[in-house]
Structure 1
Amino acid sequence: MMYLVGTSKIRSDDSGFDQALAAVRGSKTRPRCLCIAAGVEMYVARIQGKHIIKRMPDSGGSHHPSCDSYDPPAELSGLGQVMGTAIQESPDTGITALKFDFSLSKTGGRAAPVPGDGEADSVKTDGSKLTLRGVLHYLWEQAGFNRWSPSMAGKRSWFVIRKYLMQAAAEKSAKGVNLVDILYMPEAFNAERHAEATARRVAHFGKVASPTKGTRRLMMVIGEVKELSPSRYGHKIVLKHLPDCHFMLNDDIHKRLVKRFAVELGLWDGIEGTKLLVIATFSVGQTGIASVEEAALMTVTDSWLPFDSVYEKMVLDGLAASGRRFMKGLRYNLPSSKPLACAVAIDTQPAPTALYVVPPGSSDEYSAEVSTLAQDSKLASWIWSASSGEMPALPSNQVSA
């Protein structure tokens, strides 16, 4: 991408790009993205020692659809409900403040919370605070893993997922703590370096290790689930890349997790290649054992694109197989009863196209809401009523990938 930084035009892959951004960071001069003739104002953040150019809040729709900074209208996903309330970006400081609807501490004897979902309690989860699933969707989108282009095929692995999710968590704060300080993601397994990775994990967990009585600090974990299975005194989540550390669940939380996320577990079990992601808060006792306090699940394709149903996966697979460029809509806090765009194809003309799926058995109200979303949007629309049978032809690709 080409940017105007100060008085000079410079590409993001130029060797002097970081130095150019450093020169204007903190000044009144903002860089401009030159994806359109007039340019779009950006800001500079410093993340993990590097200068990163970022789009201004609520400016995603001002960028050209081919630009990495483009975002469809927020109301087509769950982002519109939480941006500006649960998610507050500050271009001046480069810090994003997040508000959680779940706790980062636990007092001994307090009842275990219902697994974090935002589904059964949609009145409470009104957009002012992020659910656990909302946090995972936000980081996924910030890392760019809801985006797809043909050049991404075969390039996503757990190493890549972890790297960019951790980068997305940088400069994010919640309840007075930096997100990266309380977030744990297993390192990609390497037998030769396993002891080193274990030492880093133990040190990280040691930040919240606490006695069984009194207030306990909690951490968050994001990982790919390998097993959800019985343990000697309850159940456990076994993560890939982490063979010797399991996350324990008591029977009550396990029962409610399985009930709430029956759809996700069914998709994981029934569709070959489906991956299951977990985000959870957990405590660490003096023994070093991790115990889950609250959890949410998310299913993704073998290309790490989130999906909520067989029908959504058919759309995503069809777009990917056709070499299309698109973005996957994410629910954040929205319950499944509220429709949103399944995906937005960004390679159609004269405007991107929002793709909607109406699942079989949907109410008349749901279908009407989809029609209203399509009519009120500035984007073109494509609607598949899955009960009608075969998926219609996807909107044609009119922009070179």
Structure 2
Amino acid sequence: MTTIRIGSDELDLEKVLEFPADYARQLEFAKKLRGYAECGCNMTSPRPKLVVRAHGKIFILARWPDDPRPHREGCPFLERSTRLNGTTTKRDAFQFTGGIHDMRLDVALKVAAGGLKSPSQSSTSATRTQRRAAPLLGFLQYAWQSAGLHIWPGRGRRGWNACWSRLVAEMAECKINGRPGSEVLHIMERWDEARKADLAAELEAFHDGASIDKDGYQRRLILGEVDVLRPSPHGGQLKLRQARHWYFLSTQLYEQFQQKYKIALTGIGREDLRCVVVLVFEKSRQGYLNVMDAAAMLANVQFIPCDSSYEAAMADRLVGEGRAFEKPLRHVDNAPIHPDFRLTDTAPETVIEVLGLAGQPEYDQRTAQKRAHYRESGIPIVEWVPTAEPLAAVQLPAPAARRSIRATGT
């Protein structure tokens, strides 16, 4: 168990992240007394510091910038930017400088009254030569990876509020299309009956910021879990698990959304899966919340991103067996190969490929290329063909520590 020290108290970090409202008094005390808390992932004195940030009437934790004391592997506050594979350039949509995420997305956050995009969203040749723009799914995956939510340390549990705490802490001072993230991005907090008035007021104020004014529509992004997606008289309507509002999709967007994110949407209403979504919306003069663009991501119950239900089943097995692993996200970095999973508790690390479409020519060709890459790089691989064998039959390499114990005979 990783702890957090506040004054003389050692608290369970996992519980503090999942239930920040329950620890508001202790966190406020830490902020006022010393200005920080101390992470227990590294017990060497002095321990790594954690920023305590006020968020309404509660407090959240974040990495202390430029702290020379390292967080250990498996800690949610481990620096993630160093884990990006491949090289980044000034043209990339995602930049991380000075401790701030600077993102350029392929969405219009301001639309003039005549329906034209703002200059920052135009697709001129000058703009194209300066910096790429990422799709919404890329943003969703980048946020997940930046917060370390694609990594499982081999222990504990993770609910939505832990995800919310880490996402809010990571994106607190971000920029999206040159605008402050605090102005244009809202990450849904888990519903808390004791704080329902504050939560409702905060969300309503954010919705109002997307209203039309004399200059046009001011659009906003909202990130949360999908609770319901269903047809409406003019297309479709979507409700998030953490709110009561309906967001409306046009017929065209509703059909495109269902087709493009068919796999991710299978997580809606399931006990064993989750569907995470980011919406770009504007508020009409009549008060309707109209979705202009959307992206969805499938996840297992611990909110580990998955590309299929087969991958979710593999992730569940790895979690259940206490394995440490990560899910590489292909929209984020420039790595030449993205395995389905990477076991980080073996030496060397082992990749796992879930071959759910085995037998399709193009898919098999890509699989052969990946096998060749792993072979040439000396990377061990485990493959699972769901249509050919049950998941329980897949043999996984033992963690390095377990192999060491067997080798010594103890």
The alignment's TM-score, normalised by the length of structure 1, stands at 0.72
CA 197–217 in structure 1, closer or farther in 2 if over 3 Å, else same: same
CA 102–268 in structure 1, closer or farther in 2 if over 3 Å, else same: same
Shift of 1:191: 3.4
Asked if the contact 1:342–1:355 (Cα under 8 Å) also holds between the matched residues in 2, the reply is yes
**Percent of matched pairs sharing the same residue:** 21
Gaps of 5+ in 1: 1-10, 24-32, 36-41, 57-61, 113-123
SS where residue 297 of structure 1 aligns? strand
How big is each residue's C-alpha offset from its partner over 1:246-299, in whole Å with a ceiling of 9 and x where there is no partner?
A: 11111111011111112222x326964211111111112234321101001111
Asked if the contact 1:277–1:298 (Cα under 8 Å) also holds between the matched residues in 2, the reply is yes
Aligned to 1:184: 186
SS where residue 155 of structure 2 aligns? helix
2:291 is the counterpart of 1:292: yes
CA root-mean-square deviation:
4.1
Gaps of 5+ in 2: 9-29, 118-127, 403-410
Please give the residue correspondences for 1:1-400 in structure 2 after superposition, counting only pairs within 5 Å.
13=5, 52-53=63-64, 69=78, 74-75=84-85, 85-91=92-98, 94-108=99-113, 110=115, 128-153=132-157, 156-211=158-213, 215-243=216-244, 245-265=245-265, 267-268=266-267, 272-332=271-331, 340-349=338-347, 351-359=348-356, 360=358, 361=360, 363-375=363-375, 377=377, 379-386=379-386, 388-391=388-391, 392-399=394-401
For residues 15 and 257 of structure 1, the distance between their equivalents in structure 2, rounded to whole angstroms, comes to 49
Amino acid in structure 2 at the alignment position of 1:352? E
| Range moving further from structure 2, 82-91 or 315-324 | 82-91
Asked if the contact 2:104–2:178 (Cα under 8 Å) also holds between the matched residues in 1, the reply is no
| Range moving further from structure 2, 98-107 or 317-326 | 98-107
Aligned to 1:5: none
SS where residue 222 of structure 2 aligns? strand
How big is each residue's C-alpha offset from its partner over 1:58-81, in whole Å with a ceiling of 9 and x where there is no partner?
A: xxxx99856763769644xxx867
How big is each residue's C-alpha offset from its partner over 1:232-254, in whole Å with a ceiling of 9 and x where there is no partner?
A: 433211111212x1111111110
Aligned residues: 348
SS where residue 134 of structure 2 aligns? coil
Asked if the contact 2:102–2:176 (Cα under 8 Å) also holds between the matched residues in 1, the reply is yes
Aligned to 1:121: none
Of Structure 1 and Structure 2, which has the larger fraction of its residues in helix? 2
For residues 296 and 206 of structure 2, the distance between their equivalents in structure 1, rounded to whole angstroms, comes to 23
| Range moving further from structure 2, 275-284 or 47-56 | 47-56
How big is each residue's C-alpha offset from its partner over 1:363-384, in whole Å with a ceiling of 9 and x where there is no partner?
A: 3421122114423547543333
For residues 270 and 339 of structure 1, the distance between their equivalents in structure 2, rounded to whole angstroms, comes to 32
CA 271–195 in structure 1, closer or farther in 2 if over 3 Å, else same: closer
Shift of 1:175: 2.0
